[in-house]
Chains A and B, each alone.
Chain A
Protein backbone atom coordinates (compact mmCIF):
# COMPACT_ATOMS: atom_id res chain seq x y z
CA UNK A 1 0.00 0.00 0.00
CA UNK A 2 1.42 3.38 -0.97
CA UNK A 3 0.43 5.09 2.21
CA UNK A 4 1.80 7.80 4.45
CA UNK A 5 4.02 5.25 6.21
CA UNK A 6 6.04 4.73 3.00
CA UNK A 7 8.36 7.60 3.85
CA UNK A 8 11.45 6.70 1.83
CA UNK A 9 12.40 9.65 -0.36
CA UNK A 10 9.93 12.15 1.12
CA UNK A 11 11.19 15.66 1.78
CA UNK A 12 10.68 18.20 4.50
CA UNK A 13 10.88 16.21 7.75
CA UNK A 14 13.87 18.10 9.09
CA UNK A 15 17.03 16.94 10.79
CA UNK A 16 17.64 13.66 12.55
CA UNK A 17 19.61 15.20 15.38
CA UNK A 18 16.45 16.63 16.93
CA UNK A 19 15.59 13.13 18.13
CA UNK A 20 19.05 11.65 18.66
CA UNK A 21 18.98 11.90 22.46
CA UNK A 22 15.29 11.17 22.95
CA UNK A 23 14.48 8.58 25.63
CA UNK A 24 13.17 5.19 24.50
CA UNK A 25 9.91 5.81 26.36
CA UNK A 26 8.66 9.33 26.91
CA UNK A 27 5.95 8.26 29.33
CA UNK A 28 4.98 5.15 31.23
CA UNK A 29 2.02 4.38 28.93
CA UNK A 30 4.49 3.94 26.05
CA UNK A 31 6.46 1.30 27.98
CA UNK A 32 3.20 -0.46 28.89
CA UNK A 33 2.00 -0.39 25.27
CA UNK A 34 5.27 -1.94 24.08
CA UNK A 35 4.90 -4.80 26.58
CA UNK A 36 1.20 -5.25 25.94
CA UNK A 37 1.54 -5.44 22.15
CA UNK A 38 4.39 -7.92 22.40
CA UNK A 39 2.35 -10.02 24.81
CA UNK A 40 -0.56 -10.03 22.33
CA UNK A 41 1.73 -11.14 19.52
CA UNK A 42 3.45 -13.74 21.70
CA UNK A 43 -0.01 -15.09 22.56
CA UNK A 44 -0.98 -15.18 18.86
CA UNK A 45 -3.81 -12.68 19.27
CA UNK A 46 -2.48 -11.11 16.08
CA UNK A 47 0.61 -11.35 13.90
CA UNK A 48 3.27 -8.74 13.32
CA UNK A 49 2.04 -8.37 9.74
CA UNK A 50 -1.55 -7.72 10.80
CA UNK A 51 -0.22 -5.23 13.33
CA UNK A 52 1.91 -3.42 10.76
CA UNK A 53 -0.98 -3.26 8.29
CA UNK A 54 -3.32 -1.90 10.95
CA UNK A 55 -0.84 0.94 11.62
CA UNK A 56 -0.54 1.59 7.89
CA UNK A 57 -4.31 2.04 7.70
CA UNK A 58 -4.27 4.97 10.13
CA UNK A 59 -5.59 8.23 8.66
CA UNK A 60 -2.55 9.99 7.16
CA UNK A 61 -2.95 13.19 9.16
CA UNK A 62 -3.31 11.22 12.39
CA UNK A 63 -0.28 9.11 11.50
CA UNK A 64 1.93 12.16 10.96
CA UNK A 65 0.64 13.95 14.02
CA UNK A 66 1.04 11.14 16.53
CA UNK A 67 3.99 9.54 18.27
CA UNK A 68 5.49 6.12 17.57
CA UNK A 69 3.76 4.27 20.41
CA UNK A 70 0.51 6.01 19.62
CA UNK A 71 0.78 4.22 16.27
CA UNK A 72 1.15 0.97 18.21
CA UNK A 73 -1.89 1.81 20.33
CA UNK A 74 -4.05 2.74 17.35
CA UNK A 75 -2.99 -0.33 15.37
CA UNK A 76 -3.77 -2.62 18.29
CA UNK A 77 -7.14 -0.99 18.98
CA UNK A 78 -8.10 -1.41 15.32
CA UNK A 79 -7.26 -5.12 15.37
CA UNK A 80 -8.94 -5.87 18.70
CA UNK A 81 -12.14 -4.11 17.58
CA UNK A 82 -12.09 -5.77 14.14
CA UNK A 83 -11.56 -9.18 15.67
CA UNK A 84 -14.38 -8.58 18.13
CA UNK A 85 -12.14 -9.04 21.18
CA UNK A 86 -14.07 -6.14 22.65
CA UNK A 87 -16.65 -3.77 21.20
CA UNK A 88 -16.52 -0.02 20.81
CA UNK A 89 -19.29 0.20 23.42
CA UNK A 90 -17.24 -1.82 25.93
CA UNK A 91 -14.22 0.35 25.25
CA UNK A 92 -16.19 3.58 25.61
CA UNK A 93 -17.71 2.38 28.89
CA UNK A 94 -14.30 1.41 30.28
CA UNK A 95 -12.81 4.75 29.22
CA UNK A 96 -15.66 6.58 30.96
CA UNK A 97 -15.08 4.54 34.14
CA UNK A 98 -11.36 5.21 34.15
CA UNK A 99 -11.87 8.87 33.44
CA UNK A 100 -14.29 9.19 36.36
CA UNK A 101 -11.88 7.28 38.59
CA UNK A 102 -8.99 9.52 37.59
CA UNK A 103 -10.89 12.72 38.12
CA UNK A 104 -11.85 11.63 41.61
CA UNK A 105 -15.56 11.75 41.05
CA UNK A 106 -17.92 9.07 42.25
CA UNK A 107 -18.53 6.44 39.59
Chain B
Protein backbone atom coordinates (compact mmCIF):
# COMPACT_ATOMS: atom_id res chain seq x y z
CA UNK B 1 0.00 0.00 0.00
CA UNK B 2 1.46 3.34 -0.98
CA UNK B 3 1.24 6.53 1.05
CA UNK B 4 -1.82 7.83 -0.77
CA UNK B 5 -3.94 4.86 0.25
CA UNK B 6 -4.06 3.40 -3.23
CA UNK B 7 -2.56 -0.06 -3.51
CA UNK B 8 0.95 0.49 -4.76
CA UNK B 9 2.44 -0.87 -7.95
CA UNK B 10 4.82 -3.77 -7.81
CA UNK B 11 7.61 -4.95 -10.02
CA UNK B 12 5.23 -7.25 -11.86
CA UNK B 13 3.32 -4.22 -13.13
CA UNK B 14 6.55 -2.47 -14.13
CA UNK B 15 7.54 -5.60 -16.06
CA UNK B 16 4.21 -5.62 -17.88
CA UNK B 17 4.83 -2.04 -19.02
CA UNK B 18 8.32 -2.97 -20.22
CA UNK B 19 7.00 -6.01 -22.07
CA UNK B 20 4.30 -3.95 -23.76
CA UNK B 21 6.71 -1.20 -24.77
CA UNK B 22 9.31 -3.62 -26.13
CA UNK B 23 6.71 -5.44 -28.26
CA UNK B 24 5.36 -2.15 -29.63
CA UNK B 25 8.86 -0.87 -30.41
CA UNK B 26 9.75 -4.14 -32.11
CA UNK B 27 6.64 -3.92 -34.29
CA UNK B 28 7.40 -0.33 -35.19
CA UNK B 29 4.11 0.97 -33.77
CA UNK B 30 5.72 3.51 -31.49
CA UNK B 31 9.10 5.18 -31.16
CA UNK B 32 10.98 5.64 -27.94
CA UNK B 33 11.73 9.27 -28.83
CA UNK B 34 8.01 9.96 -29.34
CA UNK B 35 7.25 8.61 -25.87
CA UNK B 36 10.04 10.75 -24.39
CA UNK B 37 8.73 13.84 -26.19
CA UNK B 38 5.21 13.28 -24.90
CA UNK B 39 6.43 12.80 -21.35
CA UNK B 40 8.39 16.06 -21.66
CA UNK B 41 5.33 17.86 -23.01
CA UNK B 42 3.09 16.69 -20.17
CA UNK B 43 5.64 17.28 -17.44
CA UNK B 44 7.18 20.53 -18.61
CA UNK B 45 5.09 22.35 -21.19
CA UNK B 46 1.44 21.73 -20.23
CA UNK B 47 0.47 22.94 -16.80
CA UNK B 48 -1.57 25.36 -14.75
CA UNK B 49 0.78 28.26 -15.64
CA UNK B 50 -1.02 28.21 -19.01
CA UNK B 51 -4.49 28.43 -17.49
CA UNK B 52 -3.26 31.14 -15.11
CA UNK B 53 -2.39 33.35 -18.09
CA UNK B 54 -5.89 32.86 -19.48
CA UNK B 55 -7.43 33.84 -16.14
CA UNK B 56 -5.19 36.89 -15.73
CA UNK B 57 -6.04 38.12 -19.21
CA UNK B 58 -9.76 37.70 -18.51
CA UNK B 59 -9.37 39.68 -15.27
CA UNK B 60 -7.70 42.57 -17.07
CA UNK B 61 -9.49 42.57 -20.44
CA UNK B 62 -13.32 42.65 -20.31
CA UNK B 63 -13.67 41.89 -24.01
CA UNK B 64 -11.46 38.84 -23.68
CA UNK B 65 -13.42 37.69 -20.62
CA UNK B 66 -16.70 37.93 -22.54
CA UNK B 67 -15.17 35.93 -25.39
CA UNK B 68 -13.76 33.33 -22.96
CA UNK B 69 -17.12 32.75 -21.30
CA UNK B 70 -18.97 32.61 -24.60
CA UNK B 71 -16.43 30.56 -26.58
CA UNK B 72 -13.86 29.02 -24.26
CA UNK B 73 -12.28 26.89 -26.97
CA UNK B 74 -11.64 29.84 -29.29
CA UNK B 75 -10.51 32.29 -26.62
CA UNK B 76 -8.07 29.76 -25.12
CA UNK B 77 -6.73 28.84 -28.56
CA UNK B 78 -6.02 32.55 -29.03
CA UNK B 79 -3.46 32.22 -26.23
CA UNK B 80 -1.87 29.27 -28.04
CA UNK B 81 -3.16 26.63 -25.64
CA UNK B 82 -5.08 24.47 -28.07
CA UNK B 83 -3.17 21.24 -27.58
CA UNK B 84 -4.50 17.84 -26.62
CA UNK B 85 -7.65 17.42 -24.59
CA UNK B 86 -8.59 21.05 -24.81
CA UNK B 87 -10.40 20.87 -28.12
CA UNK B 88 -13.79 21.67 -26.62
CA UNK B 89 -13.57 23.91 -23.58
CA UNK B 90 -16.22 25.56 -21.45
CA UNK B 91 -15.11 28.18 -18.94
CA UNK B 92 -17.44 28.89 -16.01
CA UNK B 93 -17.14 32.05 -13.92
CA UNK B 94 -17.10 32.20 -10.14
CA UNK B 95 -18.93 35.20 -8.71
CA UNK B 96 -20.22 36.15 -5.25
CA UNK B 97 -23.50 34.50 -6.32
CA UNK B 98 -22.21 31.31 -7.98
CA UNK B 99 -19.31 29.01 -7.13
CA UNK B 100 -18.35 26.39 -9.72
CA UNK B 101 -16.46 23.16 -9.14
CA UNK B 102 -15.25 20.66 -11.77
CA UNK B 103 -15.07 16.88 -11.46
CA UNK B 104 -14.87 13.83 -13.70
CA UNK B 105 -16.96 11.26 -11.86
CA UNK B 106 -16.23 8.54 -14.44
CA UNK B 107 -12.44 8.82 -14.52
CA UNK B 108 -10.07 11.74 -15.00
CA UNK B 109 -11.11 14.04 -17.89
CA UNK B 110 -9.29 17.32 -17.43
CA UNK B 111 -8.26 20.31 -19.58
CA UNK B 112 -4.68 19.20 -20.25
CA UNK B 113 -3.80 22.17 -22.47
CA UNK B 114 -4.52 24.74 -19.78
CA UNK B 115 -4.02 22.82 -16.53
CA UNK B 116 -1.73 19.89 -17.41
CA UNK B 117 -2.28 16.42 -16.02
CA UNK B 118 -4.87 16.17 -13.26
CA UNK B 119 -3.63 15.96 -9.68
CA UNK B 120 -3.86 12.56 -7.99
CA UNK B 121 -6.73 13.66 -5.72
CA UNK B 122 -8.82 14.66 -8.76
CA UNK B 123 -8.54 11.09 -10.07
CA UNK B 124 -9.20 9.52 -6.67
CA UNK B 125 -12.34 7.68 -5.61
CA UNK B 126 -13.05 10.04 -2.65
CA UNK B 127 -13.23 13.14 -4.88
CA UNK B 128 -15.02 11.48 -7.80
CA UNK B 129 -17.65 9.91 -5.55
CA UNK B 130 -18.45 12.99 -3.45
CA UNK B 131 -17.88 16.09 -5.61
CA UNK B 132 -21.38 15.96 -7.08
CA UNK B 133 -23.34 14.60 -4.11
CA UNK B 134 -21.65 16.69 -1.40
CA UNK B 135 -19.81 19.59 -3.06
CA UNK B 136 -19.91 21.82 0.02
CA UNK B 137 -18.42 19.04 2.12
CA UNK B 138 -15.69 18.54 -0.47
CA UNK B 139 -14.98 22.28 -0.59
CA UNK B 140 -14.77 22.36 3.21
CA UNK B 141 -12.12 19.65 3.06
CA UNK B 142 -10.06 22.01 0.92
CA UNK B 143 -10.67 24.76 3.49
CA UNK B 144 -13.04 26.58 1.16
CA UNK B 145 -16.16 27.94 2.84
CA UNK B 146 -18.96 28.95 0.51
CA UNK B 147 -21.76 31.05 1.99
CA UNK B 148 -25.24 29.54 2.19
CA UNK B 149 -26.48 32.29 -0.14
CA UNK B 150 -24.01 31.30 -2.86
CA UNK B 151 -25.17 28.69 -5.33
CA UNK B 152 -22.71 25.82 -5.89
CA UNK B 153 -22.64 24.34 -9.39
CA UNK B 154 -20.86 21.07 -10.18
CA UNK B 155 -19.66 20.36 -13.73
CA UNK B 156 -19.02 16.72 -14.65
CA UNK B 157 -16.37 16.58 -17.38
CA UNK B 158 -16.31 14.05 -20.17
CA UNK B 159 -13.98 12.93 -22.91
CA UNK B 160 -15.28 15.49 -25.40
CA UNK B 161 -16.01 18.50 -23.19
CA UNK B 162 -13.72 19.86 -20.51
CA UNK B 163 -14.39 22.58 -17.99
CA UNK B 164 -12.21 25.22 -16.40
CA UNK B 165 -13.21 27.65 -13.66
CA UNK B 166 -12.56 31.38 -13.98
CA UNK B 167 -11.96 32.17 -10.31
CA UNK B 168 -12.88 35.47 -8.66
CA UNK B 169 -10.20 38.13 -8.79
CA UNK B 170 -9.04 38.65 -5.21
CA UNK B 171 -9.31 42.02 -3.50
CA UNK B 172 -6.23 44.19 -3.21
CA UNK B 173 -5.03 43.46 -6.75
CA UNK B 174 -6.16 46.63 -8.54
CA UNK B 175 -2.61 47.77 -9.22
CA UNK B 176 -1.37 44.43 -10.61
CA UNK B 177 -0.86 43.72 -14.30
CA UNK B 178 -1.73 40.43 -16.01
CA UNK B 179 1.73 38.95 -15.45
CA UNK B 180 1.61 39.62 -11.71
CA UNK B 181 -1.97 38.40 -11.49
CA UNK B 182 -1.15 35.14 -13.26
CA UNK B 183 1.33 34.34 -10.48
CA UNK B 184 -1.52 34.36 -7.95
CA UNK B 185 -3.69 31.89 -9.84
CA UNK B 186 -3.43 28.28 -8.66
CA UNK B 187 -4.38 25.04 -10.35
CA UNK B 188 -6.88 24.20 -7.64
CA UNK B 189 -8.65 27.56 -8.05
CA UNK B 190 -9.21 26.74 -11.73
CA UNK B 191 -10.77 23.39 -10.72
CA UNK B 192 -12.89 25.35 -8.28
CA UNK B 193 -11.92 23.64 -5.04
CA UNK B 194 -10.19 26.76 -3.69
CA UNK B 195 -10.33 30.51 -4.20
CA UNK B 196 -7.44 32.66 -5.35
CA UNK B 197 -5.85 34.20 -2.26
CA UNK B 198 -5.05 37.93 -2.20
CA UNK B 199 -1.34 38.79 -2.47
CA UNK B 200 0.63 38.77 0.79
Binding site for B on A (CB under 8 A): 5-11, 13-20, 22-24, 26-36, 38-40, 42-43, 45, 48-49, 52, 55-56, 64-71, 73, 76-77, 80, 85-86, 90-91, 94-95, 98-99, 102
How far does the alpha carbon of A98 sit from the alpha carbon of B2 in the complex, in Å? 25
Q: Which residues of A contact B17 (CB under 8 A)?
A: 29, 32-33, 36, 73
Known: A19-B4, A23-B120, A52-B107. 11 other contacts (CB 8 A): A7-B106, A16-B126, A19-B120, A26-B4, A27-B9, A36-B24, A38-B38, A52-B159, A73-B13, A80-B20, A95-B16
Give chain B's interface residue range (CB within 8 Å of chain A): 35 or more
**Secondary structure at chain A's binding surface: helix, strand, loop or mixed?**
helix
The contact sample of 6 A-B pairs, CB cut-off 8 A, is A34-B42, A39-B38, A73-B20, A94-B22, A95-B16, A98-B19
How far does the alpha carbon of A94 sit from the alpha carbon of B27 in the complex, in Å? 13
B183 contacts the other chain (CB 8 A): no
Contact pick for B13, options A9, A22, A55, A70, CB 8 Å: A70
How far does the alpha carbon of A33 sit from the alpha carbon of B19 in the complex, in Å? 11
Does A16 contact B124, Cβ atoms closer than 8 Å? yes
Closest to A63 in B: B125
Q: Which of B50-58, B59-67, B127-135, B165-173 contacts A (4 or more CB under 8 A)?
A: B127-135
Contact pick for B130, options A13, A31, A48, CB 8 Å: A13
